[in-house]
Structure 1
C-alpha cells in the first residue's frame, strides 16, 4: 500500500520522474496542488508524454515535461468538460422532446401505457421506480414524485430518470412501435459515458493520444462523416479515428449534429471553434515539441471549423 505524501514530497517525487518546474515554479506548483487540483488527477496527464528509453542515464523519466504543461492540460480539460456537459444536456433534452412527441402522436398511447409496459416487460424488478423514489427527499423532484408515484406518465418519468435509463426507455419504445428515436446503441452509449465522465469531473485528456483497442474499429458512419471534410485526407482520418479520445469527440459531434436544430448547432460549433482557436492555444509554446498533441489538435480543429462554417 502506498503511503500518502505531503505536497513537498510530491514535488520531490515529480522531479525524480523528470518533471521540471520552469514554466511554473515549485512554490506556484505547491499553491496549485493545495487549492486547485490534486496530484493523482494532475499527474494523469503525464501519459501524453514519452519516457526516456532503456540504456539512457535518465531511463524512465519523462521527456520534455514541465509541471506547467500538466497544469495547462488540466485547465483546458476542465473547460472542455463544461462544453461537453452542455452538449450532452442538449442531446438529452432533444431525445426527451422526440420521445414525448412520438407518444403524443401515437393513437395507441395515452402516456401512461408505455411506462406500464416498460416496467412490466423491460424492468420487472422496477429498479427505475426505486431509483426515482430515492430522490423523493430532493427539493427539485419531490412534488412530482409525491403526485404521481408509482403511476408516472411518460412526460413526468423522463424528468426523473438518468440518461442511461432514458436511452433504455427510448430503445424499448423504438422496438415496440417501430420508430427511430435513437441512433446506434454504441453512439448513444458513448454519449452516456461522456456525460457521466464530465458529471463526475473525470479526466478526458489524460490519454488523448492512446490508440483504440485492437478489438474495436471505427464505425463506418463516422468515418464517412469525417470523409466529407476535404481538408482531412485519408491517412490522417484513419490515424485519428483510431484514437479513443478523438473518436469519442467525433461521435459527440455526429450525435449533436443529428439531434439539434440548425440555429443551436451553429451557435455551439462557433463556441467550440472559438475555444479551440483561443483558449486551447493560449500557451501553445508548451506543446510545440509534442507532435502527437499537435496533430490531434489540428485534426479536431479541422472537424470543428468545418461544422462551424456550415450554413
Structure 2
C-alpha cells in the first residue's frame, strides 16, 4: 500500500522520475499542487511522454518532461471538458426535441401510452421510477414529480431520466413505431461515456496517443466522414482513427453534426476552432519536441476547421 506523500515529497518524487521544473519553479509547483490540482490527476498526463529505455543511464525516467507541461495539459483538458459538456448537452436536447416532436405527430400516441409501455417492458423492477422519485428532494424536479408521479407523459419523463435511459427510451420507440429518432444509435454510447467522464472531471487527455484495443476497429461510417476531408491523407486518417482519444472526439463531432440544428452547430464549430487556434496553442513551444501530441493536434484542427468552414 502506497503512503500519502506531502507536497514536498511529491516534488522530490517527480524529480526522481526525471520531471524538471524549468517552466514552473518548484515553489510555484508547490502552490499549484496545494490549491489548484492534485498529484494523481496532474501526473496522469505523464503517459503522453516516453521513458528512457533499458541500458540508458536515466533508465525509467521521463524524456523531456517538465512540470509546466503537465500543468498546461491539465488546464487545456479542463477547458476541453467544458466544451465537450456543452456539446453533449446540445445533443441530449436535440434528441429530446426530436423524440417529443415525433410522438406529437403520431396519431396512435397521446404521450402517456408510450411511457406506460416502456416502463412496463423495460423497467419491471422500477429502477427508473425509483431513480426519478429520488430526485424529489431536489428543488428543480420536485414540482414535476409531485404532479405526475408515477404516470408521466413523455415530455415530462425526458426531463427526469438519465442520458442513458433517454437513449434506451428512444430506441424502444423507434423499434415499436419503425421510426429513426436515433439516426446513429451505435455511436451514442460513446457520447454517454464522454458526458459521464466530463461530468466527473475525469482526465480526457492523459493518454492521447494510446492505440485502440486490438479487438476494436474504427467504424467505416466515421472513417468515411474523415475521408471526405481533403487535407487529411489516408495515412493520417488511419493513424489517428486508431487512437482512442482522437476517435472519440471524431465520434462526438460526427454525432453533433447529425443531431444539432445548423445555426447552433455553426456557432459551436467556430467556438471550437477559436479554442484550438488560440487557447490550446498558448504555450505551443512546450510541445514542439513531442511529435505525438503535435501530430494529434494537427489532425483534430483539420477536422474542426473543416466543419467550421461548412456553409
TM tier, smaller? over 0.9
1:18 corresponds in structure 2 to 18
Q: Which secondary structure does the structure 1 equivalent of 2:135 belong to?
A: coil
1:295 corresponds in structure 2 to 295
For structure 1, the 5+ residue unaligned runs are none
CA distance in 2, matches of 1:80, 1:15: 28
1:125 corresponds in structure 2 to 125
1:259 corresponds in structure 2 to 259
For structure 2, the 5+ residue unaligned runs are none
2:271 corresponds in structure 1 to 271
CA distance in 2, matches of 1:5, 1:155: 51
Report deviation, 1:265.
Answer: 1.1
Report deviation, 1:286.
Answer: 0.3
CA distance in 2, matches of 1:227, 1:241: 11
Counterparts in 2 of 1:5-84, with a 5 A limit? 5-84=5-84
2:306 matched to 1:306? yes
1:167 corresponds in structure 2 to 167
Q: Which secondary structure does the structure 2 equivalent of 1:134 belong to?
A: helix
Per-residue CA deviations over 1:9-28 (Å, capped at 9, x if unaligned) read 00000000000000000000
Per-residue CA deviations over 1:129-154 (Å, capped at 9, x if unaligned) read 00001110001000000000000000
CA distance in 2, matches of 1:46, 1:255: 30
CA distance in 2, matches of 1:193, 1:37: 23
RMSD over aligned CA atoms reads 0.6
CA distance in 2, matches of 1:256, 1:185: 13
Q: Which runs of 4+ in 1 moved over 4 A?
A: none
1:90 corresponds in structure 2 to 90
Report deviation, 1:123.
Answer: 1.4
TM-score normalised by structure 2 residue count: 0.99
